[in-house]
Structure 1
Amino acid sequence: MTGVLTEAGWRPGRDAGDAAMLAVLITVTVGAELFPAAERALREFHGLHVHPAADGGREVAAIGSVVDPREARLDVPSLNRLADSLGVRLFPFGRTDTDAPLAVDAHGRLLMLGPGGPWLLGETVHDGLSALATGIAPVRLRAPRWRFPLPGRPADLDAAVRAVLVAVFVLHSTGVFSARRVRLRATTLRGVGVVAVDEEFKLGRGSLESNAEPLTEAMTARLDAAGVRAGGCELVLTLPVPSGTEGPSATVECAVTVGSSADGPALTLSAGPSASFDPTAKTLGACAQALADWSGTLTDAAAR
Structure 2
Amino acid sequence: MSDVLTEAGWRPGRDAGDPAMLAVLVVVTVGAELFPAADRAVREFHGLHVLPAADGGREVAALGAVIDPREARFDVPALNRLAHSLGARLFPFGRTDTDAPLAVDEHGRLLMLGPGGPWLLGETVHAGLTALTSGIAPVRLRPPRWRFPLSGGGNDLGAAVRAALVAVYVLHSAGLFGARALHLRATTLRGIGVVAVDEEFPLRPGALEDNAEPLAAAMADRCEAAGARPGACELTLTVSAPPGTEGPAATAACAVTVGGETEGPGLTLSAALSATSGPTAKALDACARALADWAGSPAS
Per the normalisation by structure 2, the TM-score is: 0.89
- The aligned counterpart of 2:213 is 213
Matches within 5 A, 1:77-92: 77-92=77-92
Whichever residue aligns with residue 188 of structure 2, its letter is T
Find the aligned partners of 1:279 and 1:187 in 2 and give their Cα distance: 35
The answer (yes or no) to whether the contact 2:180–2:202 under 8 Å persists in 1 is yes
> Shift of residue 101 of structure 1?
0.9
> Shift of residue 278 of structure 1?
6.1
Find the aligned partners of 1:244 and 1:60 in 2 and give their Cα distance: 44
Q: How many residues align?
A: 300
- The aligned counterpart of 1:180 is 180
> Shift of residue 292 of structure 1?
2.5
- Residues 261/277 of structure 1: CA separation in 2 closer, same or farther (3 Å cut): farther
Find the aligned partners of 2:120 and 2:154 in 1 and give their Cα distance: 43
> Shift of residue 118 of structure 1?
1.9
SS in 1 for 2:148: strand
Whichever residue aligns with residue 241 of structure 1, its letter is A
The answer to whether structure 1 residue 230 and structure 2 residue 230 are counterparts is: yes
Find the aligned partners of 2:168 and 2:248 in 1 and give their Cα distance: 18
The Cα RMSD (Å) is 2.3
Find the aligned partners of 2:268 and 2:212 in 1 and give their Cα distance: 19
Whichever residue aligns with residue 174 of structure 1, its letter is A
98-107 or 247-256, larger mean C-alpha shift: 247-256
Structure 1 segments of 4 or more deviating over 6 A? none
Find the aligned partners of 1:134 and 1:150 in 2 and give their Cα distance: 42
- Residues 106/244 of structure 1: CA separation in 2 closer, same or farther (3 Å cut): farther
Listed one character per residue, the Cα deviations across residues 217-271 of structure 1 (whole Å, up to 9, x for unaligned) are 2222333443433233321110111334344433322101122341122111223
> Shift of residue 206 of structure 1?
1.5
- The aligned counterpart of 1:108 is 108
> Shift of residue 279 of structure 1?
5.4
Listed one character per residue, the Cα deviations across residues 5-46 of structure 1 (whole Å, up to 9, x for unaligned) are 222222333332332232223223333222222122212221
- Residues 31/261 of structure 1: CA separation in 2 closer, same or farther (3 Å cut): farther
Whichever residue aligns with residue 259 of structure 2, its letter is G
- Residues 243/40 of structure 1: CA separation in 2 closer, same or farther (3 Å cut): farther
- The aligned counterpart of 1:296 is 296
Listed one character per residue, the Cα deviations across residues 128-148 of structure 1 (whole Å, up to 9, x for unaligned) are 222222333333322332222
The answer (yes or no) to whether the contact 1:183–1:200 under 8 Å persists in 2 is yes
> Shift of residue 213 of structure 1?
1.1
The answer to whether structure 1 residue 48 and structure 2 residue 57 are counterparts is: no
Find the aligned partners of 1:88 and 1:180 in 2 and give their Cα distance: 28
Structure 1 residue runs without a partner (length 5+): none
The answer (yes or no) to whether the contact 1:73–1:92 under 8 Å persists in 2 is yes
Whichever residue aligns with residue 39 of structure 1, its letter is D
Find the aligned partners of 1:136 and 1:22 in 2 and give their Cα distance: 32
- The aligned counterpart of 2:263 is 263
**Percent of aligned pairs sharing the same letter:** 75
- The aligned counterpart of 1:156 is 156
The answer to whether structure 1 residue 34 and structure 2 residue 34 are counterparts is: yes
- Residues 228/63 of structure 1: CA separation in 2 closer, same or farther (3 Å cut): same
223-232 or 174-183, larger mean C-alpha shift: 223-232
- The aligned counterpart of 1:23 is 23
255-264 or 94-103, larger mean C-alpha shift: 255-264
The answer (yes or no) to whether the contact 1:57–1:135 under 8 Å persists in 2 is yes
Whichever residue aligns with residue 47 of structure 2, its letter is G
Per the normalisation by structure 1, the TM-score is: 0.88
Listed one character per residue, the Cα deviations across residues 79-105 of structure 1 (whole Å, up to 9, x for unaligned) are 223222222111111111121110000
- Residues 230/71 of structure 1: CA separation in 2 closer, same or farther (3 Å cut): same
> Shift of residue 127 of structure 1?
2.1
Find the aligned partners of 2:130 and 2:278 in 1 and give their Cα distance: 20
122-131 or 279-288, larger mean C-alpha shift: 279-288
